[in-house]
Amino acid sequence: MSPASPHVTRAWVEIDLPAIDRNVGRIKQALPPHVRYVAVVKANAYGHGMPEVATRLLQAGVDCFAVANVGEAARLREVGHEAEILLLSPTLPAEMPRAIALGLDVTLNSRDEAQAIERCAAAAGRQVRVHIKVDTGMGRAGVWHANARELIAYVRTAPHLDWRGLYTHFSEADADTDFTAEQRRIFLALLAEVPTAERARLLVHADNSAGLESFSAASPFNAVRIGLMQYGLPPSAGSFLASLRPEPVLSFHSRVVLVKDLPAGTAISYNRTKVLARASRVAIVAVGYGDGVPTAASNRGSFLLHGRRCPILGRVTMDQTVIDVTDVPAAAVGDIATILGAQGTERITVGEFCAWADCIPWEALCTLTQRVQRVYRTDRT
């Protein structure tokens, strides 16, 4: 797929919406029918753009959404999405009235938090749907598993809390199967103490995209939280994830704004970290760390121009990056440079980009800034 050519922007990402349909369809087909699909759309849908991507995910058949905070949830509500929305992070006291008014599912991480949301709900004369998050070894949000029973007991008796979910989060589902199995064991032991009739009304979830590799249809889990995989990027090299054949949804492009010849010995960009070993033709591309190209890619990465790989020369700057186009004689002002994605038979993958940038795929996508225009490709384009 060739990149589009917006006339009013210097840097843009293209979002292939039909690829979202195909990715969600393959994931849903691989899941048992009773398992609900929780689409994670936090951080601007992993940089892909919300609400446009959220709308497409709903059309593709996801069951509900998960976001990081009340502000993200409010954005979904503002565009008319009435689906269930789960807040994944702890909720600040000042945010609780808005969370209640928006009808969100609130994650509880401590008894203090539960008591605060109970008081707020009572004052509003409302019931709040809540999920209890259990820390089984992540060491981040969630009630520590040894203390979870006390929180569960409180939630059961709080008149304004409607207990709807119990979940945990795996810290190394993409790398350490033994530790993931231990986290799963701790969680399942706690779940087994919940009476069967009560358990039947709970959304029980632990698995993210990486967790699908070890997900069992015979387990009591009835939901999965899918983020990276729906955007076409498997979080690990597991055979099951690879078998789903996810398609990358996002590509990242910019334009050449200047082409010039420089003599051998010329130093390029700040701090002269690159000195030309030969007389060279260079192109200045209108994209930098202010858009999402990290300085770690300096002198390591490449852009695609006319279907050829062109090495980054010197330090990536806020608004511009210099590339070597000596071997691309047709290079000219206005040409499209591809930072992520394909040109002709060449492709720069997110994995390759991350190796240059010393980052993880989630970070590479989420750090695409707001000045990078999102261009949405539909079935008709």
* pLDDT at residue 381 in the model: 47
Q: Per the structure block, which two tokens stand in for 229?
A: 């995989």
Low-confidence ranges of the chain (pLDDT < 70): 1-8, 213-214, 216-218, 236-239, 380-381
Catalytic residue of the set 37, 46, 270, 274: 270
Residue 29: Cβ within 10 Å count: 8
Cβ atoms of residues 368 and 252 within 8 Å: yes
Q: Give which of 253, 251, 210, 227 is closest to 17, Cα–Cα.
A: 251
Q: Tell me: the pLDDT tens digits for 176-216?
A: 889 988 999 999 999 999 999 999 999 999 877 777 766 76
What would the 3-class secondary structure string for the chain be? CCCCCCCCCCEEEEEEHHHHHHHHHHHHHHCCCCCEEEEECHHHHHCCCCCHHHHHHHHHCCCEEEECCHHHHHHHHHCCCCCCEEECCCCCHHHHHHHHHCCCEEEECCHHHHHHHHHHHHHHCCCEEEEEEEECCCCCCCEEHHHHHHHHHHHHHCCCEEEEEEEECCCCCCCCHHHHHHHHHHHHHHHCCCCHHHHCCCEEECCCCHHHHHCCCCCCCCEEEECHHHHCCCCCCCHHHHHCCCCCCEEEEEEEEEEEEECCCCEECHHHCEECCCCEEEEEECCCCCCCCCHHHCCCCEEEECCEEEEEECCCCCCCEEEECCCCCCCCCCCEEEEEEEECCEEECHHHHHHHHCCCHHHHHHCCCCCCEEEEECCCC
Q: Give the torsion sign (CA, 231, 232, 237, 243).
A: positive
> Which residue has tokens 């029980």?
204
State how far the Cα of 24 lies from the Cα of 262, in Å rounded to an integer: 49
* pLDDT at residue 5 in the model: 59
State how far the Cα of 197 lies from the Cα of 219, in Å rounded to an integer: 17
Cβ atoms of residues 251 and 340 within 8 Å: yes
Q: State the chain's maximal CA–CA distance in angstroms.
A: 77
Q: Give which of 12, 2, 4, 9 is closest to 368, Cα–Cα.
A: 12
- Between CA 109 and CA 77, with CA 44 as vertex, the angle to 5 degrees is 75
**What global pTM score does this model have?**
0.91
Does 28 participate in catalysis according to the annotation? no
Q: In order of start, what are the domains of the chain with their CATH numbers?
A: 63-229 (3.20.20.10), 250-377 (2.40.37.10)
* pLDDT at residue 2 in the model: 56
Catalytic residue of the set 42, 133, 167, 289: 42
Does 270 participate in catalysis according to the annotation? yes
Q: Per the structure block, which two tokens stand in for 148?
A: 């979870």
* pLDDT at residue 341 in the model: 97
Torsion of CA 140, 144, 145, 151, to 10 degrees: -120
Q: How far is CA 10 from CA 14, 244, 287, 346, in A?
A: 13, 34, 7, 22
